[in-house]
Structure formats: C-alpha cells, structure tokens
Amino acid sequence: MTVLKLAKLVINNKLGSTLLGLLVCSFSWADGEITSCKSLSATGNSEYPPYLWRESQDSKVLFGANRIVMDEIGRRLGIPIELQHTGPWSRAQVEVKAGRIDLMAGAFYTIPRIQYMDYVYPAFLNTTSVVWGKKGRDFVFKSRDDLIPLRGVTVINNSFGQDFDNFAKEKLNIYTVASLEHAFKMVSFGRVDYALYERNPGLAYVKLLKVADTVEVREPAISSEGLYLGISHKSKCNTGALRGQLAKIVQEMIAEGFMQKALDQGLEDWDKFGGK
C-alpha cells in the first residue's frame, strides 16, 4: 500500500489530519534512513590482534577479524564502512563519543559507553580477559580478591565488563598507560605486579614484543565478554532503521558461522604478520 492510498484511507475513515501527518512523516523517515549516508566511518582498538592491528606505526589501515566482519557488514548493508586507526584505544573512544566517527568496531558493554553510543545486539564475537604476571614472581591468584593488595596496570579506558570494572574501581590499585607495550614493560621490569588485558591480543603482543620469557598468563580468567558493534549517539547516520538493519545482519552472519571464520582468518593473518 502506497503512502497516498494510506492517506486516502485515513481521511475516509475520519482518523484526523494529525494522524495523517504522523504517518506520512514516519513513512518518509523510514524510506530515507538506510540510504541517507553514503558511507560510514569506523574505528577500534588497533592494539587488539587478532581482532584489529596495524602493520606499522605510521599506518592508519587496520587489519584483523573485526576488519573482515566490518567489510562484510558494509557489503550486506550496501553502505561502505571505512575502518581506520584514529589513535590509541582511549582516543578511538573519544572520536566515537564526539560523533567524528560513526561506528565502534568492537567494544565491551559498559555503563559509561552507553552514555555516548548505542550497542547493536547480539555481540558479534567474544573474548576473555586475564591477569598477566612476571615469570618467576609468584603470587597467589585464585580469584580476583587476590589482586586487592597488589599493584596492577592496564591500557587507558580499557574495560573488562561492567562487573569487573566496578570491582576494580572500588578495590584495586591499577595504573593506566597508553599502550599494551608499556603495560607489559612495567610487568617485566617489576614496577607492577600484574597487567590486565584480553587473552588473545595479549598472547599476540607477547610474541611480537618478544617478552614470552618474562610475561605469562595467570589463571583463572577474570571475565569473558562479548564484543559489540556500537553507533555514536552523535552520528548523523544513527537511526532506528539503521540499527535494526545492522542487528539483522549481525544475527545472520553469526547463524552462518561467518564470525568464527573471520576470527580464524584473523588468527591466521596475525600469525603470518607476527612471524615476520
């Protein structure tokens, strides 16, 4: 049924001009939402292999599983997604918060982040966060409470899920630094007792930075969280129809097994890059 036919039906049934106006506005709004933006910008944590990484410090091009996912989402959406490095992880979040970047290509769910971006459900991938300690420097670690008397470090604005973030804010002594490399060096030099970071990206950087002889994972994991696509509240492209279409696409890709294939490819690509 066209908008014109619906308008005639509304008038004939004496539903009122106000309702007609609302209907016409809603139809025209929905018609233009998906196609109003010719492209979408995206960023993420570029120190996050196999999910995202750069091949050199002066490059803005991002590679990894999340890049594969974003490219496919853009293809299915019919709108190209331009994924780019915008600076450290903390800076990437600032760019999305300000609306200078439309999409966040992978972030945990936290209360502070929902203040500036909408999450697309469900999570497209999952990742586990762990404690990293210095080899030969033993400390008892059976639960997160064992971290309370110790000194830790992580990357600025990093999250480990809302539950652990709340615990850390209330009870842990954690320094924040700009890069994972800096955090691992602090562990290696004994300046802190431990670092907090995700398992797969951490393992990748341990190999790249050649610190496997000094830094190791301490079990158990502190959290397991989903990686979500986020849309800036201030993005001019952020509409209900776009969010709905993105959710539909993500669900389809998960059902097809695409996300796991993307992660497998990201692991393979990083292994080749990290082995150079």
Domains contained in the chain, CATH given? 3-29 (no CATH), 40-126+227-274 (3.40.190.10), 127-225 (3.40.190.10)
pLDDT of residue 111: 96
Torsion of the alpha carbons at 109, 112, 114 and 117, rounded to the nearest 10: -100
pLDDT band, very low/low/confident/very high, at 207 (cuts 50, 70, 90): confident
Is 49 within 8 Å of 181 (Cβ atoms)? Answer: no
Predicted confidence (pLDDT) per residue in 48-88, tens digit? 999 999 998 899 999 999 999 999 999 999 999 999 999 99
CA–CA dist 276, 267 (Å, integer): 15
pTM of the model: 0.80
**Above pLDDT 90, what percent of the chain?**
79
Residue 194 has pLDDT above 80, yes or no: yes
